[in-house]
Structure 1
Amino acid sequence: MTTTSRSPSATNVSRRSFLEGSVALAAATAIPGGAFAAGSDRIKIGVVGCGGRGVGAALQAVAADASVVIAALGDRFADQLDAAAATLAASGDGRFASGLFHGERAAEFVIESDVDAVILATPPCYRPAEIAAAVRAGRHVYAEAPVGIDAAGVRCAAAGVEDGRRRGLSLASGLQSRHHSPTRSVVVAIAAGGIGQPLRAVAIQHIGLPWVRPHQKGWSAEDAAVRNWIGDERLSGGVFLEHLVHAVDRCSWALGEPTPLMATAIPTTIALPQPLDRRMAAAARIAFAGGATLEIDVIRREGIEDRVEETLYGRRGNADLRRCTIPGQAFAAAAGDAGGHATCMASFIESLKGGPHRDDLATACRSTMLAVMAQSAAAGGAPVAWQDLWRPSSAPPPSQPVQSSLV
């Protein structure tokens, strides 16, 4: 398959300067939102990032409604773009098209193409700038979580969300648990007093090492890093963000989303060789107004016994957020339930057709910042205050990943 590359040679722009420019432009530029409708019977979607999640989201978008067309695909790598296009074409649906862009400016060209909405599924370090650019172009946004890897990135994403709200855009996140019917049911039961007052949430994930794609001839060091982004802290944000943001979101949601106050480092639940590699093992406690806490413990280590738990402790019992149970009651999906990812995408597509508006990307900003706060406390050893993360002058300095796909 022949791909179209509209990617000139990379310019040497730092991530910090690009994020700052995106915030400034988003605040200063007033382009009307590109809502689907006005004389068209199709919803044209562009996909930025053609790995497994991007392709999966594209398939779910097409399955959600017969009017959806995948009008543009973009990825840094031509081989990944070709594989994605072939996978989508093999579905036999005939609604996969057209604009194929590879290279370091692929995201820019997808966003600027003739699309109504974009799905953002690149590594999370790129997401803040892509959200800001998509909103600036008047595109509805479906962004996977996390929405950034550090406080500066989350602030950029949040600024883009606020601009998108002013434009009336649909702004959806890939926090699929919010659309998973058993999880929704257990959270409703907790809010109704099923375990009494929620006091403490604990999220534990002890799992093996991230996947690694072996280095291939012709790859630059930067290419190899991006292809293995999940294990590179500059791109993924580290273990709290790339792997635990969904758990952090579920626990905060089940606690009633109280106001965060402070995060502090705590010991991991099992003893590990010292010095501890904070990129692969860390633990922190988040304190909320009202006294509730969230303890997060994550270890990625070869040969470790898998342990994945999310428990909410209340005055009258405990809730298991993974199994969706409270004392005396278990919640299961109804027959024919499409699952969280598919339902999450379907509601986004419905919002583009005039259905209930999606405005939950701000929730993803909040949950990502909670994970950033925990990561910062665990890595630095000193307490980190929630309010400080939202102040550019006093927040921890941003990470420095490899160059953004939008630059």
Structure 2
Amino acid sequence: RRFVGFDAYQKVLALDDVNYVILATPPGFRPPFLKAAVAAGKNIFAEKPVAVDAPGIRAVLAAYEEAKTKGVAVGVGTQRRHQTGYLETMKRIHDGAIGEISGARCYWNQGPIWVHPKQPGWSDMEWQLRNWYYFTWLCGDHIVEQHVHNLDAINWALGAHPASAVGLGGRQVRTDPVYGNIYDHFSIDYEYPDGVHVASYCRQIPGCKNNVSEALSGTKGFCQVNKYTITGEKSWKMTEKDNLPYVQEHTDLILAIRAGQPYNELKNIAESTLNAILGRMAAYTGQEITWEQALNSEESLMPAKLEWGDLAVAPVAMPGQTKLV
């Protein structure tokens, strides 16, 4: 069976013989799909990120609470949390292997990704859906869609989300209209509780030094998280074979469903997604933005009506001019 259209997800969820759904459409659709799937009592695997704006985050947090009440299992696509190397490294971090964490940095710097120029016969809506990565209402910008992995690892290590952020970003290379309205680079300074600062970098520009990693500095040592290495008083390096985290994240969810065990990863990914949205807001506006301001923002990036046809592209954010809504 196959359903098409903006209401296709509702038809899938109405099927009595469906008890497990995978939500892997562009992230802008994640909040309403999550809300509907939880209401329908379906177990869920949702790809990251889980929203592109604050209203979406608030909807996801509400879905998290409802899923707990109804006993609906929800797994998400933060595979590092199911990866043996990361699990072993984080266990040692939380056991004090590097002492108190005093600072951190994380990166997702890479080259360009795919792009789909508009073709004859495509409406604005069809083109934006096919070229979804380049529109904030669908993708959230690459700091949200991609760098959320690294930010989630940092939140995991610190056991907290940031209190505020300042940052910068822009469109240095991807300036053609085919690249929609997203940036091609961000640099964010996040401040966490107890004055811990995290330097966050993400970039999608060709011909540059690439780096996808997370690192932690502590009072008793240093950890290169992505390399499963600790140096200092309790030096350590994992030598065992790593697992396949993209498989394990589904295995863990399915085993919990079969065993009837509570399983809900929505809150962590909602906070990590908001972490990324917070950084985007700071870069887009050029202002210091607090966690509360980000969470309570009324800016909705979704179009007022989802229909085939004309759909104007929102202007590219301009620091110092774009306002926090």
TM-score range, shorter chain: 0.7 to 0.9
Deviation at 1:382, TM superposition (A): 0.9
Cα gap change, 1:332 to 1:107, in 2 (>3 Å): farther
Cα gap change, 1:220 to 1:362, in 2 (>3 Å): same
For 2:193, the aligned partner's letter is: A
Question: Which residue in 2 is equivalent to 1:243?
Answer: 146
In the aligned structure 2, how far is the partner of 1:232 from the partner of 1:149?
A: 10
| Alignment of 1:315 onto 2:219 | yes
In the aligned structure 2, how far is the partner of 1:135 from the partner of 1:404?
A: 22
In the aligned structure 2, how far is the partner of 1:113 from the partner of 1:285?
A: 46
Give me the identity figure in percent: 28
Cα gap change, 1:351 to 1:309, in 2 (>3 Å): closer
Q: Secondary structure of 1:100's match?
A: coil
- TM-score of the superposed pair, with normalisation by structure 2: 0.84
1:141 pairs, out of 34, 38, 44, with 44
CA contact (8 A) 1:278 1:379 kept: no
Question: Which residue in 2 is equivalent to 1:113?
Answer: 15
Which segments of structure 1 move beyond 6 Å, counting only runs of 4 or more? none
Deviation at 1:332, TM superposition (A): 4.8
Question: Which residue in 2 is equivalent to 1:362?
Answer: 267
Cα gap change, 1:236 to 1:164, in 2 (>3 Å): same
| Alignment of 1:325 onto 2:206 | no
Deviation at 1:366, TM superposition (A): 0.9
| Alignment of 1:386 onto 2:288 | no
Q: 227-236 or 117-126, which moves further after superposition?
A: 227-236
In the aligned structure 2, how far is the partner of 1:107 from the partner of 1:333?
A: 42
| Alignment of 1:155 onto 2:62 | no
Aligned residues: 296
CA contact (8 A) 1:186 1:325 kept: yes
Question: Which residue in 2 is equivalent to 1:28?
Answer: none
CA contact (8 A) 1:125 1:401 kept: no
- TM-score of the superposed pair, with normalisation by structure 1: 0.68
For 1:152, the aligned partner's letter is: P
CA contact (8 A) 1:235 1:402 kept: no
State the Cα deviation string for residues 324-365 of structure 1 (Å, max 9, x = none). 211232225537x3x111111011111221254211111111
Question: Which residue in 2 is equivalent to 1:185?
Answer: 88
State the Cα deviation string for residues 175-231 of structure 1 (Å, max 9, x = none). 111100100111111112222211111112221122113544443222121112122
Deviation at 1:166, TM superposition (A): 1.2
CA-based RMSD of the aligned residues comes to: 2.3
Question: Which residue in 2 is equivalent to 1:400?
Answer: 302
After superposition, residues 36-185 of structure 1 pair within 5 angstroms as 99-114=1-16, 115-185=18-88
1:344 pairs, out of 239, 249, 256, with 249
Structure 1 residue runs of 5 or longer lacking an equivalent are 1-98
RCO comparison, higher one (Cα < 8 Å, 6+): 2
Deviation at 1:318, TM superposition (A): 1.6
State the Cα deviation string for residues 285-344 of structure 1 (Å, max 9, x = none). 121112222221112123223232321111222211221211232225537x3x111111
1:194 pairs, out of 74, 97, 102, with 97
CA contact (8 A) 2:71 2:262 kept: no
State the Cα deviation string for residues 45-64 of structure 1 (Å, max 9, x = none). xxxxxxxxxxxxxxxxxxxx
